[in-house]
A and B are shown apart, each in its own frame.
Chain A
Amino acid sequence: MTETKQSTNPKRAIQDSSHSAEPREPAEGPLLEVRGLQKHFPIKGGAMRRVIGQVKAVDGVSLTVDRGETVAIVGESGCGKSTTGRTIIRLEEPTGGEVIFRHPELGPVHIEDADTKTLDKVRPKMQFIFQDPMASLDSRMTVGRVIAEPLVINKVLKGQALRDKVADLLTVVGLRPEHASRYPHAFSGGQRQRIGIARALALDPDLIICDEPVSALDVSVQAQVINLLEDLQERLGLTYLFISHDLSVVEHISDRVVVMYVGRVVEISDTKELYKRPLHPYTEALLGAVPQPDPRKLHVMEPLKGEVPSPANPPSGCYFHTRCKYAQQKCTDETPELREISSDRGGSAAGARRPRMVACHFAEELELTGAVVPSPDAFKAVETETSVQLKSGDLE
């Protein structure tokens, strides 16, 4: 956290004169920058309900998201990935750190100390898609009202223009305009998630934070929603912060990955590099645990022992040392900093979007195994063996 704030008062936010609707120059800096973000929840106890401890749900998370890319946050449940997402748009008040969002008109805005007025201007550009599409849609509002609500609240449109926009949004996400008059219960899980996406798109956001958007969906529907998100990104130039625990989905959708463990970032890398050669032992363990859809590639790695430590009472040094098979004395004593790894040491390859970062004392020495890749034959089995020949002879 050595960087200086660009503007402490959001009202004095630097005007971004170069703003236009066209894709911007990458030179203008990241769309979202998070520096040392912290979110601690107090534990209250005793007769006076005094604060007796802190759950450090997010403890010094730094990451950047460039315009047009998809950055995924992965980790086990309780690692703070959802809290990070919620704190970034201030659904939770951060305990410390900075969140800088580059607004198309206001320029870089510090979200963490922005006042209500500024937040009102910034939030339309940062939208959220929630995991559970049943819980995140008001069951007593028609789909049309659900999608129109952000437009009404922000006084963007009304009357016929509003209805047209809603119809438009429904079409964009692959539903029909006449669906606007129905209620959420009349839709399947995948369709409800589409409604959630339409609502997020209503205000033409730049950044969409997707918190496990496909985890609650069936596989066949999950593919539809993933494709929709990718398609929308291409068409509308969206940027995603994609929070997920499913490493196969993350590999498919993301450009870069942030791996979190007990409230801290342990590794940031381009997706391909990360899956090919992880630099943090925790990343290796996560990748090794993914059940591959290939019976010829059975789990080879011993599963990770033990449990995730509690963020209320984390171990000393590197939080992962209690479960790490490479741990040494240094790991118990010293907390490893998130640091850049140079390319000759297994760091970012040429053409990488951003430098590779890892928080492990021994990142340079360890030779870690990447993800198991299903055999190409398994792909071919479903791709080439088409039933076309059978079909032609079978028509009556």
Chain B
Amino acid sequence: MTTRRRASGGSRAGDRRADDLGRGSSDAIITVRDLQVEYKTTLGKVNALNGVSFDVPRGSVLGVVGESGSGKSVTARAIMQILERAGKITDGSIVFRRPADDRRESTQQEDELEAALDSSGEVDITRLKPTSDAMRAIRGSEIAMIFQEPMSSLNPVYTIGFQIQEAIRLHQNPDKKESWAQAIDMLDQVGMPNPARIADSYPHELSGGMRQRAMIAMALSCHPALLIADEPTTALDVTTEAQILALMRRLKEEIGMSILFITHSMGVVAQLCDEVIVMYQGRVVERASVEDIFYHPKHPYTRSLLRSIPRIGAAEHTPLEVIKGSVPDPYTKVSGCSFHPRCPDFIGDVCRTVIPPETLLPGAERHGVRCHLYDDERALAGSTTEASR
């Protein structure tokens, strides 16, 4: 199990380069390639995702950062196949690799999933119907998700214990007594004081932090291979946030959980993640290790974002650097690089007309950036990546 930060880095640099051309390396739990999601609305089509590619390496935390409207949550929902009715995956693949040792008691849904898996234990989620048994077997069981606002994702009329038990009974153990005991054990594992009492309480009786723990317990109850956390700490106070982050870190280290962690807080990313993708307008503009994102950021957007956050200990009353303008509204299409109207390093027509392809920068660890400033380096390195759209 890779536990420490970047314990898994370096050595695989070779096949990392290769994986950007193909279907992704086999030690990624999930490989997303060129994912496109479109929403049909009365005001027209909105391209929420315009070709998103990334991998979540097994046993590590991939952070997804970006401002509201950048497509972070849509990515998560596409993986879970829980897009709103208007949304549709139009292209791309999401290859989920089920851990080999993860054989479970066979239910009918599981059989369907087995059928969907190919010989190497891979399945392309985009090929499954959202309502298919195979997808249901994956959702909640193999890939679990926690949401930003725990109050609206918990059912107010059932006890916490019942709701956790429900997931266990559906996917794992239909026995009532045993699943209840398992539910209490899960609550204990996420650090809930007095889990037996909490299991008997209703969501409104708990504080925000406790509710989020209950959500995490529910998500973990079926021992998923991948946990997707969509801004789980945004609605919480700093002290509670620190508790949840400590819990996430423990999960990663103790059970080698792979986590896709969506957030807009650069602080949370620095504290928790191993690798980071930065999203803007439905595209991944930069992906790198957390160290590189903070110490060698390349994309003007990443750099601007880092400059605009207030940091403790910065010189007193110096104005924060701002990114001019605001995130364009989803109905307007920006030509070329979608960041060019706000970019401090705008270099002319090429930015306005050509969508930059991803450039892999030379170095031991994978560091990809979609920006014309680095076109020369791409030519030098000779690395080609997926075609620009």
* A residues in contact (CB < 8 Å) with B: 76-77, 188, 190-191, 218-224, 226-227, 230-231, 245, 247-249, 251-253, 272, 275, 285-286, 288-299, 301-308, 371-374, 377-379, 381-383, 385, 387, 390-391, 393-396
Contacts and interface: CB of A to CB of B under 8 A. Distances in A.
A396 B348 contact: yes
10 tightest A-B contacts by CB? A291-B267, A373-B313, A252-B310, A289-B242, A303-B242, A223-B308, A223-B320, A220-B323, A218-B67, A76-B237
8 contacts: A220-B326, A223-B320, A252-B310, A252-B320, A286-B239, A304-B239, A372-B312, A396-B350
Contacts of A191: 326
B294 A295 contact: yes
A292 B265 CA distance: 10
Nearest to B311: A374
A289 B271 contact: no
B167 interface: no
Contact of A382 (B268, B307, B316): B307
A387 B345 contact: yes
A378 B294 contact: yes
B321 interface: yes
Given A219-B309, A251-B312, A252-B320, A289 B239 contact: yes
Given A219-B266, A245-B237, A295-B294, A395 B322 contact: no
Contact of B268 (A218, A275, A291): A291
Given A226-B320, A304-B243, A305-B243, 10 more contacts: A245-B238, A251-B310, A289-B239, A295-B290, A299-B246, A303-B243, A307-B210, A373-B313, A374-B312, A396-B350
Contacts of A301: 242
Nearest to A293: B266
Interface in B281-323: 290-291, 293-297, 300, 303-314, 316-317, 319-323
Nearest to B246: A303
B245 A299 contact: yes
Contacts of B307: 382-383
B270 A294 contact: yes
Contacts of B329: 188
Contacts of A231: 319
Interface string B211-244: 0000000000000000000000000011111110
B312 A299 contact: no
A393 B308 contact: no
A133 to B, nearest CB: 13
Interface stretch (B15-23, B48-56, B140-148, B371-379): B371-379
A292 B348 contact: no
